[in-house]
Chains A and B, each alone.
Chain A
């Protein structure tokens, strides 16, 4: 028997709550939504582009009528709720109907504040709130000349700009002496005003409206000082007031807004409220991000999961007002005892100010160049001490070589067309801009597939996004459209992993069926991923699917650009003997290997080996005592070591010996991505242990464990995990850490992003804090190794998988 949910209000906050609720428990409620506009839920923020002519109404609908129908939501648009009977748990609507509820969600939003001056009720005086207002403005623009916008805030300026592009003479009236005083300080406001005046807007600052004049329809606006301005249309954009009349009349406690607690409940526990009508911890919000956070929390409680809290939002404002980039966050007006750092270039239209206290950012205002807004906001939110880079902080976070932070549009668009953007694929800026223009590309995915830019290592993603934003402008949607692990499914990696481990899915077929895969065979992305997840969670039970392995792992060698392979025998800890070297040299001669090279992983690579020769070569190497180096796999790769205590005058421990033990423990294991270890014999760290997935730095009193380091494309230094006393402990903790990564990492996620995603605290909790958990992890790793630590070369030298290495000859 479904419960009944009544939602009063069909706007962005209310419908986002319903969406979040449906994601969690689609069948829990019979939902009825009341909305007083004759439209399904639309993006109110996009009304400005609709007014200016950049978008149509259809473009801004968020939930179509089909969505309501498909989700069995009864939408009553036009009928209003006039009364809430809280005791009887029902609402009455304007048509006299009575609808019972188990839970009620009030999302009545806000209404524009109309200044109560004489004449405010004349025809031609409107707010700027909904589609009806936009329709009115468009019809006036077609037939009339003069518009006055009262209110020089964000909304007022957007309205003024829109009306001006539609051909009207527009005057903006503002009570204070600087525009957008809630988002900008005086200098930035002045720059904005100058830009807008150049565009043809007129301003009357510090002007107090006294009366709207005219007969039934408005003809002008008169001010307190007696002056007057002609107007056919007056738009009031002086603020919004939460819509709380219905709530108040029903006895729900309100102050400026409907008062809610951290679970979005009103004083009546069966009644929730979200959005602009709400007051939470004294704050009312008019920006969309906090409202979406509230929606998520409300949904969580409406489905009785009860684990989420809304604690208020720290907001930053990033806007494009009439084409100008603006950013502000925190307390951007400096107070007593605050310092300011300012960078100003008026002729370029750039103004950046940081308000600092105790070497921490308290507030920021950026005009014209907002690339670093996100970075400054992060520093502000995290309370980062900026003293180390204080003298360059205003120049921004990176030079252009780095991956996406903040909005790169301004400076990347200044690059010449022949500037190389994507180093892996040799794509220059002009290629990308061309493709976007000629082929009408809108998303990062489209740019990737059409130009290859950002489709290999991904470091230039931020630059590509900047070019998209700069070329496509308003139409560019940065948010990823799906979180699915590949094109075959909407499910994320975490969802798939959970399904496999908790629902006992033990074959790819079972997974694809249980999770509604869109293609029966999967694709080149998900097949290897699923194969790994199944192997990792069901060792010994799941039969590895060779045809789902990338060629390197199937052929146990690295494929090269000409179709030959490279062969890397394993050298434990980087050690080798003269006999072993002779064996490698002999193999190289026998099979006429064109090139041999020493690798960074402290072993030897044989290049140019023909695939058909691999099994025979492996047989020879196997007889010499070598096993596969797994240089080709999403697997444990190498353990690099330094000379250590056995030889080095600085060595504190036997780093080489420990390295060999670690390699003997871990070789052969399959991982979400390649995994590299190292052991350094002293803090000089000659084995570079601090850029390894798992590194040991020996010290006089023991062993420091370091995790989550990556060399390569995006270098990350390790986090210190702990310090141990004995080699046995190092091996135990290593096994536990590796198993945790194997069970939680997303396929193709190196330990560095994994550690940052789950947090070092989580890893410490699993591996350090609880000895039982650690032991269990280690046991699972050792169990898994029973099936994984088998030399693939030897098996194939003896004839396994022969078809992989034999070409057919014509009979």
Chain B
């Protein structure tokens, strides 16, 4: 069963930036683009696990701060000749609040 969990107000995510949601199982990076689209991916680069939430965001992709891999936020796939993929999570924005879809066993109690 998918839970939609309210995590943060949209305004609390900097434009072209991200916030990190820590659960017991996984860290999720929630991104906001310059036109207010919201994406969420596991906060780990497919390359060497770097924190994507700390990268520079452009368009709908982010550049990992460790070794400059570019990750497409919608698909979680690495761009260009690099190959790899990180997990994506579904999000929803309602009344200025961001909701994240986590499977029941991924959510912290």
Q: Are A550 and B6 in contact (CB under 8 A)?
A: no
Given known A-B contacts A808-B19, A808-B22, A527 and B8 have beta carbons under 8 A apart: no
Scan A638-675; emit 1 where CB is below 8 A from any B CB, else 0. Answer: 00000000000000000000000000000000000000
> Which of B8, B15, B66, B81 touches A808 (beta carbons < 8 Å)?
B8
Partner of A547, one of B27, B30, B51, B56: B56
Quick one: which of A508-534 are within 8 Å of B by CB?
A: 519-524, 527-528
Given the complex of chains A and B, what is the CA–CA distance between A772 and B34 in angstroms? 45
A68-76, A555-563, A776-784, A792-800: which one contacts chain B?
A: A555-563
**Which residue of chain A has its CB nearest to the CB of B43?**
A563
Are A524 and B108 closer than 8 Å at their CB atoms?
Answer: no
- Find chain A residues with CB under 8 A from B23 CB: 810
A520 touches B59 (CB 8 A): yes
Asked if B80 CB lies within 8 Å of chain A CBs, one says yes
The chain B residue sitting closest to A527, CB to CB, is: B56
A277 to B21, CA, bound (A): 72
Determine whether A809 belongs to the interface, using a CB cutoff of 8 Å to chain B: yes
B74 within 8 A of A: no
Q: Mark A545-567, 1 if CB is under 8 A from B, else 0.
A: 01110111011000101010000
Across the interface, name the chain B residue whose C-beta is closest to A545.
B16
Residue B104 interfacial (CB < 8 Å): no
Residues of A within 8 A of B14 (CB): 546-547, 803
B21 touches A550 (CB 8 A): no
Interface range on chain B: under 10, 10 to 19, 20 to 34, or 35 or more?
A: 35 or more
Which residue in chain A gives the minimum CB-CB distance to B27? A807
- Is the CB of A482 closer than 8 A to any CB of chain B? no
Question: Which residue on chain A has the smallest CB distance to residue B56?
Answer: A524
Q: Is A449 an interface residue (CB 8 A)?
A: yes
- A-contact 0/1 string along B5-37, CB 8 Å cutoff: 111100011111101111100010010011000
Q: What is the CA–CA distance of A524 and B21 in the complex, to the nearest angstrom?
A: 24
Residues of A65-101 whose CB lies within 8 A of B:
none
A447 CB → nearest B CB, Å: 10
Contact B65 A550 (CB under 8 A): yes
Specify the chain B residue showing the minimal Cβ separation from A803.
Answer: B12
Q: Check if A186 is an interface residue, CB within 8 A of chain B.
A: no
From A549, which residue of chain B is reached at the shortest CB distance? B56
Tell me whether A519 and B58 are in contact in the complex, defined as CB-CB below 8 angstroms, given that A559-B65, A809-B22 are known contacts: yes
Of the four ranges (under 10, 10 to 19, 20 to 34, 35 or more), the interface on chain A belongs to 20 to 34
Q: How far apart are the CA atoms of A806 and B18 in the complex, in Å? A: 11
Chain B nearest CB, measured from A559 CB (Å)? 6
Give the distance in Å from the alpha carbon of A450 to the alpha carbon of B80 in the complex: 9
B19 touches A807 (CB 8 A): yes
Give the distance to chain A from B16, nearest Cβ to Cβ, in Å: 4
Complex Cα distance A527/B57, Å? 10
The residues of A that contact B16 with a CB separation of less than 8 Å are 521, 547-548
Taking a contact as CB atoms under 8 Å apart, the answer to whether B20 and A807 are in contact is yes
Instruction: Indicate if the CB atoms of B81 and A450 lie closer than 8 Å.
Output: yes
Complex Cα–Cα for A520 and B35 (A): 11
Q: How far is the CB of B81 from chain A (nearest CB, A)?
A: 5
Which one of B12, B15, B65, B108 has the highest number of Cβ atoms from chain A below 10 Å of its Cβ?
B65
B81's nearest neighbour on chain A, judged by CB, is: A450
| A388 sits at the interface (CB 8 A) | no
- Given that A449-B80, A520-B59 are contacting pairs, would A551 and B54 also be in contact in the complex, using a CB cutoff of 8 Å? yes
Contact A548/B81 with A807-B21, A810-B5 known, Cβ cut-off 8 Å: no
19 CB-based A-B contacts, threshold 8 Å: A449-B80, A519-B58, A521-B57, A521-B58, A521-B59, A546-B14, A547-B57, A548-B56, A550-B56, A559-B66, A803-B13, A806-B19, A808-B7, A808-B19, A808-B30, A810-B21, A810-B107, A810-B108, A811-B7
Binding site for A on B (CB under 8 A): 5-8, 12-17, 19-23, 27, 30, 33-34, 48, 50-51, 54-59, 63, 65-66, 68, 70, 80-81, 102, 107-108
Not counting A546-B14, A546-B17, A808-B21, a sample of 10 additional A-B residue pairs whose C-beta atoms are within 8 angstroms of each other reads A524-B68, A547-B56, A552-B65, A555-B54, A559-B51, A559-B54, A803-B12, A807-B22, A807-B27, A809-B22
Task: Please name the 8 residue pairs, one residue from A and one from B, whose CB atoms are nearest each other, closest first.
Answer: A524-B63, A551-B54, A521-B58, A547-B16, A524-B56, A551-B65, A807-B20, A450-B81
